[in-house]
């Protein structure tokens, strides 16, 4: 497998979706290609950082409007 | 023009209804969601029996994340708020169609994604397509390659990193950012993403690969060693 092949399979490799023989071939390439190793590592890191990002708290006016619309539809909260 | 919008709306409504039919289909490849808590199914069961406080608790729990999702897809505050509100209202109306074969949160994400897409398509008709094939792989090779060091994110305060990520997602083309957000941020499986967007699995995969490479390249401009901006 060449560098182009690694990039083409990058997502499948990260997701663990590769056929074992293709995975082996890809990892053999990574064993001697520093650039591809760097791209694989940095792409994994990028996804990790994205996954770790926390949502911003809902602004209070947006929250009030949402809950007012809900109450109108479903009525006041009751158990 | 109005006819075209009406036709699009009709098509989207049909897609939404067919989506609701498939939402509860068993999916063995679903990724575990890191956001759902263990008592989620109890709240859903309560809400289905008319316990409105239980539904409101579900809303409280997910409103921040759903707004982030709708904002990431629409790229517009007003549409994002609208899409979020409609998603919760639709989820409530269709609660009886949710059979618990997927997580409630996953189901909600798919409704919210659909609501967001309808708004994005209204604003940016003909400006993007999730169905068309993407270009060949000649432009895939990353051009910018620099060392990041082991933990580049630690050079940034949390708020600064959030700002950078939000900015990066906003600058991605819609067809790439939607797939990236659903797959990597909301943890939908490839199959669920394809179903939610009404496209093939291969279309999701090719867009996801490009989106991830673009994310890496944009982060590279911030993370390359010695660069702080």
Q: Which ipTM score applies to this complex?
A: 0.88
Which of A33, A39, A46, A38 has its CA nearest to residue A8? Answer: A39
Q: Which residues contact A61 (CB under 8 A, 6 or more apart)?
A: none
Option in A45, A50, A73 nearest B184 (CB): A50
Contact B52 A76 (CB under 8 A): yes
In tens, the pLDDT along B129-152 reads: 666 666 665 678 888 788 888 888
CB B117 within 8 A of CB B76: no
For chain A, 79 residues long, give each residue's pLDDT as a single digit of tens: 899 999 999 999 999 999 999 999 999 999 999 999 999 999 999 999 998 887 777 889 999 999 999 888 877 655 5
Contact B52 A74 (CB under 8 A): yes
Which of B85, B91, B83, B110 has its CA nearest to residue B43? Answer: B91
Using alpha carbons, list the distances in angstroms from residue B74 to A43, B26, B115, B121. Answer: 25, 29, 9, 9
pLDDT of residue B17: 46
pLDDT exceeds 60 at position B207? yes
pLDDT exceeds 60 at position B156? yes
pLDDT exceeds 50 at position B5? no
In terms of DSSP H, where are the helices of chain B?
2-23, 40-48, 52-74, 77-93, 104-123, 158-171, 174-180, 190-197, 201-223
Option in A7, A14, A45 nearest B141 (CB): A7
DSSP 8-state symbol, B172: S
DSSP 8-state symbol, B140: -
Option in A49, A51, A77 nearest B52 (CB): A77
Provide the residue count of chain A. Answer: 79
- The token pair at B102 is 């997927």
B219: alpha, beta or left, given left = phi > 0 and alpha = psi -120 to 50? alpha
Using alpha carbons, list the distances in angstroms from residue A2 to A6, A43, B80. Answer: 7, 18, 43
pLDDT exceeds 60 at position B228? no
Contact B215 A47 (CB under 8 A): yes
pLDDT exceeds 70 at position B12? no
Chain B from 24 to 63: CB within 8 A of any A CB: 34, 46, 51-56, 59, 63
Q: Which residues contact B72 (CB under 8 A, 6 or more apart)?
A: B169, B177, B181, B185
Option in B51, B63, B213 nearest A43 (CB): B213
Nearest CA in chain A to B138: A4
CA distance B23 to B42: 19
What does the mean pLDDT of chain B come to? Answer: 79
Chain B from 77 to 106: CB within 8 A of any A CB: 81, 84-85, 88-89, 92-93
């Amino acid at each position: 497998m060449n560098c182009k092949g690694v990039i083409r399979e990058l997502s499948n490799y990260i997701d663990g979706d590769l056929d074992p023989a293709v995975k082996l071939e890809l990892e053999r390439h990574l064993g001697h290609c520093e650039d591809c190793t760097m791209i694989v590592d940095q792409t994994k890191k990028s996804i990790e950082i994205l996954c770790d990002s926390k949502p911003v708290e809902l602004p209070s006016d947006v929250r009030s409007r949402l809950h007012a619309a809900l109450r109108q539809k479903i009525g006041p909260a009751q158990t | 023009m109005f006819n075209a919008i009406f036709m699009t709306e009709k098509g989207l409504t049909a897609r939404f209804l067919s989506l609701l039919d498939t939402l509860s289909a068993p999916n063995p490849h679903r990724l575990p969601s890191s956001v759902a808590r263990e008592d989620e199914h109890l709240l859903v069961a309560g809400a289905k029996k008319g316990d409105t406080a239980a539904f409101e608790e579900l809303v409280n729990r997910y409103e921040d994340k759903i707004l982030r999702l709708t904002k990431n897809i629409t790229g517009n505050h007003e549409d994002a708020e609208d899409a979020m509100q409609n998603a919760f209202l639709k989820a409530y109306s269709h609660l009886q169609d949710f059979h618990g074969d997927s997580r409630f949160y996953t189901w909600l994400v798919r409704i919210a994604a659909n609501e967001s897409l309808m708004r994005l398509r209204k604003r940016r008709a003909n400006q993007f397509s999730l169905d068309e094939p993407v270009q060949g792989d000649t432009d895939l090779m990353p051009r910018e390659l620099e060392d990041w060091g082991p933990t580049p994110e630690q050079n940034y305060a949390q708020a600064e990193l959030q700002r950078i990520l939000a900015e990066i997602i906003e600058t991605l083309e819609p067809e790439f950012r939607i797939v990236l957000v659903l797959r990597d941020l909301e943890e939908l499986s490839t199959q669920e993403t394809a179903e939610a967007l009404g496209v093939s699995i291969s279309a999701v995969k090719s867009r996801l690969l490009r989106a991830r490479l673009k994310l890496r390249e944009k982060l590279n401009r911030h993370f390359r060693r010695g660069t702080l901006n």
